Amino acid sequence: MAYEVLALKYRPKVFEDLIGQEVVTRTLTSAIQQDRIAHAFLFSGVRGVGKTTTARILAKALNCDRGPTVRPCGECPGCQEIAKGSSLDVLEIDGASNNGVEQVREIVEGSRYAPSRDRFKIYIIDEVHMLTTPAFNALLKTLEEPPPAVKFIFATTEHHKIPDTILSRCQEFEFRTVAPTEISAQLQMIAKAENIEISATALNSLSRAASGSLRDGISALDQVIAATGTTIEEQDVTELLGLIERDVLRQTTRALIDQDTAAILTLVDGLSRGGRDFRYFTTALMQYLRDILVAKVAPGASELMELPDETSELEAIAHEFSEEDLLRALEVLTQAESALRTSPEPRFHLEMALLKLSQLHRLASFEELLARFEAFVSGGAPPPPSGSAPKPISKPAMKSAAPRASDTPRDQQAQGTRAAQPPQPVQPPQPSSTGSAETSPDDWTSDVPPVGEADASELAFGVRLVQHLKASKPMLHALVSHNEAATLDGDRLTLTYLDTQRVLAEQLQQKALKELLEEQASGLVGRTIRVNIDVIRETSEAAVAPSEPQVQDDTSATLRDRANSDPLVRQFIDTFQGEIESVQKPDR
């Protein structure tokens, strides 16, 4: 007797045997029980999910001698002939090879005659999307008003190619892909019936390789049994089908966490020597990292993972990553998988993608960089770098002048970014051309007095503006609070900055920030305020007449040393975790 492949041997014979299509089977059985059977059905879905099998079961249910019944007997002549494909009243037609007008005309002509023996004449057209447009048009009239004893069942894997005129005349049923757990359970049942010993990891590999198609999973099991015999392990499945072992994915992930570039290159070399598909490896790694992301954001939700039995292991690995790292990793792998399709050097693209992933811990998020910049602008210490594996950053000692007794805490912080010599007090602005009296120091200084020293209504406008911005616009406050003088002359507010704070002044001169500052100032006084930004050079005895003459050495090494010791440069290096590549003397 000829060998019968497992996909045919264990093909479902009744509605209850269908795997993963509960909605379809419930609807069809209910229609049969209520005698509300439509004249045309359209079954759509990916390959191997039971479309043609369901069409045959439905045909047997309608033409069974017991029938119509939701459970055909499988023993009457009608059921047996339908199962063998030899029934005169149930015609299975391949739409790919019978897609012309002439073949459709034969169907239309045959539908006019009554069934030879059974209750209904049923036409099952597989891959119906292959019919030509004229063929579809020739079928429309008969499909809309068929004879009472005629039923049409269409099956397709490309629903979008079916004309709307055909869809409107059919009851549509969407067959979903079968879950890996359901495929694994069915394969285990078949293996037990065939007296095959198969490990759980091998079943998991087969169910993942099936990609939602139960028939593909059964065919793969049939192939592995033919190659290995009665005992099947994961290595047998992966070697025969070219899959990626779960252990390889674990090793790759561990190498990425440890930033072990040598191990990464060794793993890729092993894949290359084993003839493994780099695209399949990339896809498998994406699925593995996706499960790690699920374990990170939804711990304990094992039902969301591809393999629920690995939940504890994936949650342990998830602690080594941040959510941002995993999202960036998936994005990099997605781009790599797309490049591998057409690349003449797929190994190179895979190696570069994995090396990028190994450096994820060194990347800082935009929010972290923004927080560091705000801290730098405000004169405070930048926050430590975040991430799943932060590395300590050594900060060089910074020279700063001793604070004066009259300095406020803000002034003491600001001196850390200025020259080592303490600057002399800057003279307040002169009276305006309108003849207004010279403003007092309280009117132009931006130093905020301690809380409770004066009532808010008595504070100078510059001080009140800084306090207002601190509560409402922290970023703008970081820029405005470093002014050396604030003068309100009528409807014009002048903010004066030292030349060492030119960067802050230039930022405030940007249109968006300047308009925002004018809006805040206007709201504070109840009238329209215009803002001017002035920059003056800082003068001091130390700057004009240095105590000790110094000879400037313009050699590259000396310039680099001077740059390394500059406080402002060190702040930028510490904030953005960079390094000095070259130093050039500016042209004068």
Of 155, 160, 170, 162, nearest to 136 by C-alpha is: 162
Q: Summarize the confidence of residues 377-401 as an average pLDDT.
A: 47
Q: Are residues 260 and 343 in the same domain?
A: yes
Q: What local confidence, expressed as pLDDT, does residue 429 receive?
A: 42
Q: Are residues 217 and 256 in the same domain?
A: no
Q: What local confidence, expressed as pLDDT, does residue 150 receive?
A: 94
Q: Are residues 15 and 153 in the same domain?
A: yes
Q: Are residues 299 and 333 in the same domain?
A: yes
Q: What local confidence, expressed as pLDDT, does residue 134 receive?
A: 93
What global pTM score does this model have?
0.59
**Six token digits for residue 498:** 């030292």
Task: Give the chain's end-to-end CA distance (angstroms, integer).
Answer: 98
Residues in the chain: 588
Hunting for tokens 């600057």 — which residue is that? 423
Q: What CA–CA distance (Å, rounded) separates 387 from 259?
A: 14
Q: What local confidence, expressed as pLDDT, does residue 457 receive?
A: 38
Q: Are residues 12 and 160 in the same domain?
A: yes
Angle 568-379-397 from CA coordinates, rounded to 5°: 55
- Four-point Cα dihedral 545, 547, 552, 558, nearest 10: -130
Q: What is the pLDDT of residues 416-432, one digit of tens each?
A: 444 334 444 434 444 44
As a whole number, the mean pLDDT across the chain is 79
Hunting for tokens 């009243």 — which residue is that? 89
Give the number of other CB atoms < 10 A from CB of residue 275.
7
Residue 37, Cβ density class (10 Å: 0-12 exposed, 13-18 middle, ≥19 buried): middle
Q: CATH code at 486?
A: 3.30.300.180
- Confirm whether 557 is domain-assigned: no
Of 241, 225, 238, nearest to 191 by C-alpha is: 225
Asked whether the predicted pLDDT for residue 384 surpasses 90, the reply is no
> Which segment of 191-205, 287-301, 564-578 scores lowest on mean pLDDT?
564-578
Side by side, the strands of the sheet bearing 171-174 are 90-94, 121-126, 150-156, 40-44, 171-174
Contacts of 206 (CB under 8 A, 6+ apart): 183, 184, 187, 217, 220, 221, 224, 237
Distance of CA 228 to the CA centre of its chain: 39
- Confirm whether 489 is domain-assigned: yes
Which helix (H) or strand (E) is 94 found in, with range?
strand 90-94
Q: Are residues 22 and 153 in the same domain?
A: yes
Q: Are residues 201 and 252 in the same domain?
A: no
Of 241, 280, 210, 238, nearest to 47 by C-alpha is: 210
In degrees and rounded to multiples of 5, residue 433 shows phi and psi of -65, -15
- Confirm whether 561 is domain-assigned: no
Q: CATH code at 340?
A: 1.20.272.10
Which domain-ending residue is among 311, 344, 362? 362
What is the radius of gyration, based on Cα positions, of the chain?
A: 39
Q: Please give the single-letter amino acid code of residue 564.
A: N
- Confirm whether 353 is domain-assigned: yes
Q: Are residues 102 and 147 in the same domain?
A: yes
- Confirm whether 146 is domain-assigned: yes
- Confirm whether 221 is domain-assigned: yes
Q: Are residues 39 and 144 in the same domain?
A: yes
Q: Are residues 184 and 63 in the same domain?
A: no
Pair 20, 56: CB distance under 8 Å? no
Q: Are strands 231-232 and 40-44 parallel, antiparallel or unpaired?
A: unpaired
Q: Are residues 32 and 99 in the same domain?
A: yes
Distance of CA 105 to the CA centre of its chain: 51
Q: What local confidence, expressed as pLDDT, does residue 450 receive?
A: 40
In degrees and rounded to multiples of 5, residue 107 shows phi and psi of -65, -45
Asked whether the predicted pLDDT for residue 497 surpasses 80, the reply is yes
Which domain-ending residue is among 241, 267, 288? 241
What confidence tier does 538 reach under pLDDT thresholds 50, 70, 90? low
The DSSP output letter for 402 is: P
Which domain-ending residue is among 127, 158, 174? 174
Q: Please give the single-letter amino acid code of residue 435.
A: G
Residue range(s) defining the domain that contains residue 185: 180-241
Distance of CA 268 to the CA centre of its chain: 24
In total, how many domains does the chain have? 4
Which helix (H) or strand (E) is 378 found in, with range?
helix 366-378
Q: What CA–CA distance (Å, rounded) separates 28 from 12?
A: 15
Q: CATH code at 214?
A: 1.10.8.60
Give the number of other CB atoms < 10 A from CB of residue 370.
12
Q: What CA–CA distance (Å, rounded) separates 126 from 502?
A: 76
Hunting for tokens 């002549």 — which residue is that? 77
- Confirm whether 405 is domain-assigned: no
Asked whether the predicted pLDDT for residue 414 surpasses 60, the reply is no
In degrees and rounded to multiples of 5, residue 161 shows phi and psi of -90, -5
Which helix (H) or strand (E) is 122 found in, with range?
strand 121-126
What confidence tier does 67 reach under pLDDT thresholds 50, 70, 90? confident
Q: What CA–CA distance (Å, rounded) separates 186 from 466?
A: 71
Q: What CA–CA distance (Å, rounded) separates 225 from 233?
A: 11
- Confirm whether 91 is domain-assigned: yes
Residue 294, Cβ density class (10 Å: 0-12 exposed, 13-18 middle, ≥19 buried): buried
Of 137, 139, 86, 133, nearest to 109 by C-alpha is: 139
Pair 246, 281: CB distance under 8 Å? no
Q: Are residues 286 and 139 in the same domain?
A: no
Asked whether the predicted pLDDT for residue 540 surpasses 60, the reply is no
Strand partners, 487: 494
DSSP states of 433-445: TT-PPPPPHHHH-
Which residue would you say has higher pLDDT here, 395 or 11? Answer: 11
Asked whether the predicted pLDDT for residue 255 surpasses 50, the reply is yes
